[in-house]
Amino acid sequence: MKRLVSALGVSLFAIAACETGMIPVSAPDTAQTQVPQDGALVATQDQYKAAIKAAQPGDTLILANGIWTDFDLVVEGLGTADAPITVRAETPGEVILSGQSSLRLAGEHLVVSGLVFKDGSTPLNEVISFRKDSKTLANNSRVTQTVIENYSNPDRTQRDMWVVMYGRNNEFDHNHISGKLNSGPTMAVRLNGEESQQNSHHIHHNYFGPRPVFGSNGGETFRIGTSQYSLTQSNSLVENNFFDRCSGEVEIISNKSGGNTYRGNTFYESRGTLTLRHGNGTLVENNLFDGNGARYTGGVRVINAQQTIKNNYFKDLTGIRFSGALVVMNGVPDSPINRYHQVDEAMISGNTFDNVSSIELGEGSDAERSAVPINSSFQNNVVIGAGETTPFNLYDDLSGMAFSSNIAAQTPPDSLAYGFASGSLEAANGAGASGEFGVAREATGVSWYPKAPYGSPFEGGQTVNVQPGTNAIFDAAAAASAGDTLLLAPGTYTEAKTITLTKPLTIKAATSTKPLIQFERRNLFLLSGSGSLRLSGVEVTGELAPDNVGNSFLAATPRGGGGNHTLEISDSDFRDFTVNRSFAIVTAEKGTFFDKVAVSSSSFSDISGAAFKMDSETDDFGIYNIEHLLITDSQFSRVRGGAASIYRGGRDESTFGPLIEVETTSFEDIGARSGTTMKLHGVQNLRFYANTTIDSPPVEFIITTGKPNTIVEGNRVIGPENSAFLSTKDLR
């Protein structure tokens, strides 16, 4: 970090933050208004209803500590600027709203503080809403120091939003919002109605915790406006928020209105970009985009007119295309309201791009998006690419963008060279960002509720020794806690019951002798909720399974709540899954999602169905079942239904995945039933390296949307004659 410090002259506070591993940043805020301490204690929902009805300006209602189940909390009243009506927790963090609870505000000068929503989901369209109904809105009101954690609808396709701001002059600050899994933006500002426009909301010092990959459009963390009202001003100020691994889809933030300011926010390991999707005249300044090298991390995507991007720090961002560190899109001539308006008068100045993979200009250029950026400038920026060559990619005519006084470490493209001098972070000649950027994680959210940990969910638990026998794994798994490891002694494990996993668990051989696992039910494992499995060093047979259609070793099921699952298989052998004609190893049922399936040094032989069956989302809604399928150093033989089947339908450009990487793996006599070694429909990232097919048909790759990244190198085909490794069908 010394380089950053010396180059930018950041404050002592920022230096201290850097040294502890967190990034940069402006000082913690000290300006929050005090929530009143005296008031009337209410202990039941009926008491609350009576008390709020009678509340006068200046009154404070105190919710008693404890769990409030199915609480339809409506805070309605008319406070004044000097004497608001306050509803607060007796002790911040000890008033839990669970089950089917929600919060609605309606009226003037209301304050809500200190609540925790967890262990449930909202029965409404929102968890927290700044209105009671479409006619009764809240203005000049505030929600602060409130937590919403893992309050997802168990049906991941059910759409809701956790926080929606209506009305005007509302404040949302120091809240902790984390772990949304189901469809719909985590938070939105809505402008549908005159009384919610030119709203000047202030959204600051919030902690937006991890938003896992959603696997479809609708996974935004924050949205302001909609395309319908996008030419209306919102004038919201979004500052000093921390976006921690907010990776639901290609838009971290979808800005769809005018006149907003994004200032001093930190985006950490968040996939996608702050997208200026619709609306004009938005300012993006003093933000920190720190990808920390994580996949698909990006910065700002620019569309529309009068957008200003200045004095931001973009760091260690690996994203390309729609997820570049900076993406300036082409527009559609005379665009309809919901398509791409031309970039006009964009000002991009004084930013530092430090170790970024790409800056995409004229992105999206095609027959429809043919309107190139005009009247725009790119000046006084420092550009340090991650590779040996320039990070700039030009997709169209950039003569409508003036380049001046920039510094670049790598030689820029010829057509931009006039606007650059050679340099570095240390020799920036006054170009680039200066001052402070972003906000420290600790300065956001609340101090009394833990922020999401970093690191693997499989770690941090106990190790339990398990002896062979009947239902030994079932019993040990039932007794285990999240993150535990079951160590299997050599011998035979016969499981007569299906093991439903709702927590991350590791199951591995205690010695180098592979224990044998056999099972008598249709599935050995069912994953739901937070269920994930790491399996290592075992032999598994399907011989004892019943003759049922749809058997699999492991299935993800939507019953019990749909989380993002991880499955890791290493050094294991699967054989004899032939008892009926569609026996799979892993199945994703409709409405389930695997963040990752990773297989290494394993074998799969004599399987009647598809080994990895991830094709249940066939509605063509852009929803799919798996984000990453990674296979290395493995062998597949006699897999009749193909080694994998992945289906991502729909034609929207809202997701990075699915991604499939297969390396140094062999496929022999595959696809007797499916006619393909793998079927990959709508996959967006594809890498096949040094694999071998033997007497097997080609991998079938069907392109339906986007511009997939495809790397197919060093693969060998042994029989039948004239057979290809990959066959591509383009349906765009």
184/264 with CB nearer Ca ion = 184
CB 588 within 8 A of CB 613: yes
CB of 166 to Ca ion, least distance (A): 21
What sign does the CA torsion over 363, 656, 122, 48 have? negative
Cα angle: 685, vertex 689, 692; to 5 degrees: 125
Site for Ca ion in 401-420 (CB under 5 A): none
CB of 217 to Ca ion, least distance (A): 5
CB of 248 to Ca ion, least distance (A): 9
The burial of 65, by beta-carbon neighbours within 10 Å (0-12 exposed, 13-18 middle, 19 or more buried), is given as middle
CB 572 within 8 A of CB 514: yes
Report helix, strand or coil for 621: coil
Beta bridge partners of 243: 208, 267
CB of 275 to Ca ion, least distance (A): 8
217/376 with CB nearer Ca ion = 217
CB of 125 to Ca ion, least distance (A): 18
Q: Contact letters (x/-) for Ca ion, 202-231, by CB under 5 A?
A: ---------------x--------------
65/227 with CB nearer Ca ion = 227
253/309 with CB nearer Ca ion = 253
59/251 with CB nearer Ca ion = 251
For residue 53, the 8-state DSSP code is H
Closest CA to 85 of 151, 35, 124: 35
Strands 499-501 and 485-488: unpaired
Q: Identify each DSSP E strand in 57-130 by its residue range.
A: 60-63, 66-69, 72-78, 85-89, 95-99, 102-108, 110-113, 115-120, 126-129
CB of 369 to Ca ion, least distance (A): 17
654/693 with CB nearer Ca ion = 654
For residue 15, the 8-state DSSP code is H
CB of 29 to Ca ion, least distance (A): 30
CB of 218 to Ca ion, least distance (A): 7
Tally of residues, the chain? 732
d(C-alpha 638, C-alpha 695), whole Å: 10
Q: How many residues bind Ca ion (CB under 5 A)?
A: 3
Residue with tokens 């929803």: 623
d(C-alpha 265, C-alpha 263), whole Å: 6
Strands 142-144 and 171-173: parallel
CB of 375 to Ca ion, least distance (A): 27
CB 337 within 8 A of CB 230: yes
Instruction: Count Cβ atoms below 10 Å from residue 229 Cβ, excluding itself.
Output: 21
Beta bridge partners of 532: 504
Q: Identify each DSSP E strand in 443-501 by its residue range.
A: 463-466, 469-470, 485-488, 492-495, 499-501
CB of 296 to Ca ion, least distance (A): 14
CB of 250 to Ca ion, least distance (A): 7
645/654 with CB nearer Ca ion = 654
For residue 381, the 8-state DSSP code is -
279/438 with CB nearer Ca ion = 279
CB 577 within 8 A of CB 609: yes
155/652 with CB nearer Ca ion = 652
Applying CB under 5 A, does 251 fall inside the site for Ca ion? yes
CB of 222 to Ca ion, least distance (A): 11
251/316 with CB nearer Ca ion = 251
Site for Ca ion in 316-375 (CB under 5 A): none
144/654 with CB nearer Ca ion = 654
CB 567 within 8 A of CB 532: yes
> Helices then strands (H, E): number in the chain?
4, 71
What sign does the CA torsion over 388, 391, 396, 401 have? negative
CB of 562 to Ca ion, least distance (A): 19
Q: Which stretch binds Ca ion (CB under 5 A): 83-91, 243-251, 316-324, 657-665?
A: 243-251
Residue with tokens 């997208």: 275
Q: Which residues contact 21 (CB under 8 A, 6 or more apart)?
A: none
270/691 with CB nearer Ca ion = 270
260/654 with CB nearer Ca ion = 654
CB of 277 to Ca ion, least distance (A): 8
Q: Which stretch binds Ca ion (CB under 5 A): 129-137, 244-252, 314-322, 683-691?
A: 244-252
26/260 with CB nearer Ca ion = 260
Residue type, 323: S
Beta bridge partners of 254: 223, 275
Query: Cβ-closest residue to Ca ion?
Result: 251
Q: Which residues contact 574 (CB under 8 A, 6 or more apart)?
A: 539, 540, 541, 542, 553, 585, 602, 603, 604, 605, 607, 611
Q: Contact letters (x/-) for Ca ion, 51-90, by CB under 5 A?
A: ----------------------------------------
Site for Ca ion in 630-669 (CB under 5 A): 654
CB of 272 to Ca ion, least distance (A): 9
d(C-alpha 161, C-alpha 253), whole Å: 14
d(C-alpha 84, C-alpha 292), whole Å: 43
Q: Contact letters (x/-) for Ca ion, 547-576, by CB under 5 A?
A: ------------------------------
217/311 with CB nearer Ca ion = 217
Report helix, strand or coil for 251: strand
CB of 297 to Ca ion, least distance (A): 17
Site for Ca ion in 100-119 (CB under 5 A): none
d(C-alpha 147, C-alpha 145), whole Å: 7
251/396 with CB nearer Ca ion = 251
Cα angle: 326, vertex 328, 330; to 5 degrees: 155
Residues that bind Ca ion (CB under 5 A): 217, 251, 654
